Chain A
């Protein structure tokens, strides 16, 4: 296990102070905090953040990025999420697709996409899940067929977050038929323009009534050769390492933090009872402890390690904690949930109760993470 105590260097602490100052200036005092990375899609905010150099931090300067470390990215991400900043537009491109393009993309693809990602102007969705393929991702049926100059893709992706707002998505599909016992072979990733001919995006109403999810139907969509991401046939390895990147950052334990902060604000006048104090203290203690684990994974990544088990553990425990917090505060508050209650705490709590099942599902369910981690522990 590679968890170890690590301080922020003076430069990292200075970066944090800069982000705090920026957020204090940018977010109006009465702003409604977003819960988590998918909380709100706000291109204007993404561009402002990018102008400060805080999007595409992990990407090298020659592609418009900033060549910053994993810890520096961690520092910025945790400040944004703690403040409930609206990072939904660029977050997936920044966390996942950008690094994947850097790793597996051609020089031409890097030139084409990375500067726009770093500028907070090009947004990506994830095209993995299908109606019959969730945890068993290798069973996807979306199929690409070779044609002159590229591929034509046909199939249906579901749960595609923000497809209606974003520009592209990386589609996991079959480029050669499944062979008995070799389920992970023959898969590839293609970058599909969400506005291309043959792409039909239909909303799937989200549990809180908002438009977040989509079904994306692909019908003979032409994808030129220069939009193949990485090697044909290596889609599975690419996707699974992508999942490892995204696993253990602050977005896996901080999503519901604003609810706790607003609880304290609401109690500022009356003070807290013993029971409320106990709940607040327990949550704060666990935040503090989980944060150290998550930070230490970022530090290990910077040292060139591959802390895959550690990352799975952090996500498993962190996302359960995000849910746990919501229920603990609900019980402490003794309130009836109402999305329009007029109290910021009450409304955030209602939103959190409605949406919190997602934390332990998206990006690999709790059950799947446990088997990844347990295999590593027993190895």
Chain B
């Protein structure tokens, strides 16, 4: 990791350690929000890492933003860190739109979502229904992609003018449905999307963000499980001495390392944008790792892991949610397999053996 990035994650780790304890996470689950954590993050500029400074962001690149998300995942941080910068901030900045003061979210592109932009400069109108928007109801704006008159636009849609139907993921993180019905928009809320700013590109960034969150959570799950099984005694010895329990520890470590390294390589290769193969492989690996490691860790913990307060549940419920967001392991495996089949048998090994590129 570069020195700058290591410093960034150190500072972020300190901040989360103070303001995002397991108790804070429990409290935030009741309301779907932690104002204290969000204001501290916003003050530090972390949410806008990877958004260029010229556009009002904090600068840095995708790898920096994902390194922060890995820390956030480790602490089960109940805030739209990925949505505000890496996803929504990217869209707004690319289209030359202003970043909002408060949290920003993004339409994730669920099947059945509909966005209609009508009118034109001076008379933009928005009719849209977008589902499972992370912290949608809590955000100030939601970034949307819309096609109108043969052009693609980025819309910074104000949540104040939307109807909000609350939804949640398994970790009680808000995943809301937002609707705008023929809502008027000022000109500074609509900008032309430049080449490369597409739904597919957003999906890659979104999947990478979830892989990074998963990596962080898995690293913590691995530590927690090693610690707990070393402390818990049954039959007169620590349960970590039982071979069957050791199997769980090893499985968790393998999956956590594999997902972590794959994701890190994908983020480091994102110069400037993440590549399809890297993201598909990293998200498929991370989502599968989430499933396997959560199962093994719960098994090793016994009943204590099933309590609301114990940290494991905060992490596993997020893993069980993030693995499906922006495409499950099955989705990405299928997309990847299609492309590989099209490229043909002789391209397979050269592709698999292309890892981290040279800077």
Contact = CB atoms under 8 A, between A and B. Distances in A.
A279 to B, nearest CB: 7
Nearest to B357: A7
B258 A274 contact: no
Nearest to B358: A7
A257 B351 CA distance: 13
Given A281-B333, A371-B246, A271 B341 contact: yes
Interface stretch (A90-98, A109-117, A211-219, A261-269): A261-269
Given A5-B264, A371-B243, A278 B358 contact: no
A261 B349 contact: yes
A313 B261 contact: no
B348 A260 contact: yes
A317 B255 CA distance: 9
Interface in B263-303: 264-265, 268, 277, 280-282, 284-285, 288
A51 B346 CA distance: 26
Interface stretch (A61-69, A162-170, A172-180, A285-293): A285-293
B262 interface: yes
Contact of A264 (B240, B288, B340): B340
Interface residues of A, number: 55
Contacts of B8: none
A284 B353 contact: no
Interface string B327-356: 001101111111011001110110111011
Contacts of B332: 281, 285
A295 interface: yes
Give the interface SS of chain A, mostly helix, strand, loop or mixed.
helix
Given A277-B334, A281-B280, A374 B246 contact: yes
A262 B344 CA distance: 10
A272 interface: yes
A6 interface: yes
Nearest to A309: B253
Given A278-B333, A291-B353, A313 B340 contact: no
Contacts of A347: none
A316 interface: yes
A282 B348 contact: no
A377 interface: yes
Nearest to B267: A5
Contact of A291 (B277, B334, B352, B357): B352
A378 B240 contact: yes
A8 to B, nearest CB: 7
A281 B329 CA distance: 9
B257 A5 contact: no
Contact of B268 (A5, A280, A295, A374): A5
B257 to A, nearest CB: 5
B230 interface: yes
Contacts, number: 170
Contacts of B280: 281, 285
A296 B334 contact: no
B357 A378 contact: no
A277 B345 contact: no
A171 B261 CA distance: 39
A33 to B, nearest CB: 11
Contact of A267 (B243, B277, B341): B341
B249 A289 contact: no
B345 A281 contact: no
- Most chain B beta-carbon contacts within 10 A, residue among A7, A83, A284, A316: A284
Given A267-B341, A295-B355, A377-B249, A261 B261 contact: no
- Most chain A beta-carbon contacts within 10 A, residue among B250, B265, B333: B250
A262 B345 contact: yes
A1 B257 CA distance: 9
B336 to A, nearest CB: 3
A307 to B, nearest CB: 12
B334 A285 contact: no
24 contacts: A272-B337, A274-B334, A277-B338, A277-B341, A278-B333, A278-B337, A281-B334, A284-B351, A285-B262, A285-B282, A285-B336, A286-B288, A288-B281, A289-B261, A289-B285, A290-B258, A292-B356, A313-B257, A317-B254, A369-B250, A370-B246, A371-B246, A377-B226, A377-B253
Given A272-B337, A281-B338, A285-B284, 10 more contacts: A7-B358, A8-B358, A9-B358, A277-B338, A284-B281, A289-B281, A291-B355, A292-B265, A295-B355, A313-B250
Interface of B: 226, 229-230, 240, 243, 246-247, 249-250, 253-254, 257-262, 264-265, 268, 277, 280-282, 284-285, 288, 329-330, 332-338, 340-341, 344-346, 348-349, 351-353, 355-359
